[in-house]
Structure 1
Amino acid sequence: MTEQLEKTYLWDPVVRVLHWALVIAFFTAFGLGKFGPAQMTLHFYAGYAVAVIVVLRVIWGFVGFTTARFATFVKGPGKVFAYARTLPSSNPSRSYGHNPVGAIFVVGVLIVLAMQVTSGLLADPEDYINVGPLAQYVSSDVARKALSYHEPLSFLLLLMVIGHIGAIFWYKKRKGENLVTPMVTGYAQLPPREAPAE
């Protein structure tokens, strides 16, 4: 029997714009940090953009559209493990928003991004040029520690992004689900159910 699917509104414009803006801002900051000019002004601007996006996404996680809210998609350990057991299956998940395992990634990446931004704001490489704007308000020990965390956190974020892309390919190849198109159009093909309310 063929599964009945219908066009379902899933991701609101705020989530979609913030998602793709974060992709651009993160890779811009990463590229400038690793390969850009010695003077990190443009890297700082990209970092500020990341900071704004993270703050807006956290706010939207409390007041936004249903599928964007943390209260909707963050689940307890029982539901996370129950969903995780279905991952090897070829059956589509048909999640109405972030699934319980994906929710861990969303929260985790927001936390790591916040740590990365904070470390950049506080870092002082002692070159008198690329000093974080908040470094003057903390001790030199804190500024040096922030600097020591900044680069490792960037590579952790890169690994998380690679894992995210891998998951997208896994869902497409193994489960036959396209996770990219809904993040572009806002709509996904899902089984009928009561539409989420704002």
Structure 2
Amino acid sequence: MSSTQLRWVKVWDAPTRLFHWSLVILVACAYFTARFGMIEWHFRAGYAIIALLLFRLVWGFVGSDTARFSRFLRSPFAALQHLAHFHRREPDTEVGHNAAGGWMVLVMLALLLFQVGSGLFSNDQVFSEGPLAQFVDSGTSDRITGWHEFNFNLILGLVGLHVLAVIGYAVVKRHDLVRPMVTGSKRLPRSIAAPRMTSLVLAAVLFLVAAGIAYALSTLS
């Protein structure tokens, strides 16, 4: 496809991009703080992740077109069909997540929600415990802590799969998935309409509410 048939289109809004990269940093922080026994900082990273996830869930319904679940969640058959054509080198005409990527986003959000939810009931069996651990007995808290630790391994596995997918798209299909998530824009055929972007003010209000809920949870301990 010649360059005259393409134009730069804004496909990712700033809130979605900030959510993505902030989540990358915070998940890394959660991993290293847990690994090195920095439990207080581990909990702080968890509360920040809660704020991000609460925001993203609401943004998935009222946010910009490419952030909405209804826009990028397609049938499992569509995802499998997309993967079956992975070997084909063809122009990138996806405005947002492709059919397979949409399901990866959904699974990642589900795992992260379980992770922070279980973290609220978990304990380190020494000094610290989640703010909701006081509402269950110690045996239940220990069991949930085990789930919390196992689920994080699933998250790490999915992160690795995501990175491999990004590399695969770059090598096999010559699709750059990273730059649009950094700059917000990508080159698309002129015939494709630009997605609608939602107000940044609304995003800021929603995040402040989400952050307030996360802070309220932190004060329960």
TM-score, with structure 2 as normaliser: 0.84
Render the CA deviation track for 1:82-112: whole Å, top value 9, x for unaligned. Answer: 2122112222442110011001110000000
Structure 2 unmatched ranges of 5 or more: 198-221
Q: What do the CA deviations read for 1:141-185 (whole angstroms, capped 9, x no partner)?
A: 321111011111111111111111111111111111111111111
**SS in structure 2 of the partner of residue 122 of structure 1:** coil
Determine if the alignment matches structure 1 residue 94 to structure 2 residue 90.
no
Q: Alignment partner for residue 172 of structure 1, among 167, 170, 173?
A: 170
**Match of 1:66?**
65
Alignment of 1:17 with 2:18, yes or no, is yes
Structure-2 residue corresponding to 1:85: 84
Identity percentage of aligned residues:
37
Q: CA deviation at 1:55?
A: 1.0
Q: In the TM superposition, what are the counterparts of 1:108-187 in structure 2 within 5 Å?
A: 108-127=107-126, 129-187=127-185
Q: Quick check: 61-70 or 137-146, which moved more? A: 137-146
Superposition deviation, residue 117 in structure 1: 0.6
| Structure 1 unaligned residues grouped into runs of 5+ | none
Moved beyond 3 Å, runs of 4+: none
**Residue 187 of structure 2: SS of its match in structure 1?**
strand
After TM superposition, the structure 1 stretch with the greater mean CA deviation from structure 2, 146-155 or 13-22, is 146-155
Q: What displacement does 1:81 show?
A: 2.2
Q: 2: CA distance between counterparts of 1:94 and 1:36?
A: 45
**Residues of 2 paired with 1:126 and 1:71: CA distance?**
42
| Distance of 2:196 and 2:48 partners within structure 1 | 30
- Tell me if structure 1 keeps the 8 A contact 2:11–2:194: no
Structure 1 Cα separation of the partners of residues 101 and 189 of structure 2: 20
Q: What's the RMSD between the two structures over aligned residues?
A: 1.4
Q: Distance in 2 between matches of 1:153 and 1:93?
A: 33
Letter of the 1:171 counterpart: Y
CA distance in 2, matches of 1:78, 1:166: 22
- Structure 2: distance between partners of 1:16 and 1:50: 15
User: How far 1:124 moved relative to its partner?
Assistant: 2.7
Deviates more, 1:87-96 or 1:165-174: 87-96
Contact 2:180 2:186 in 1 (8 A): yes
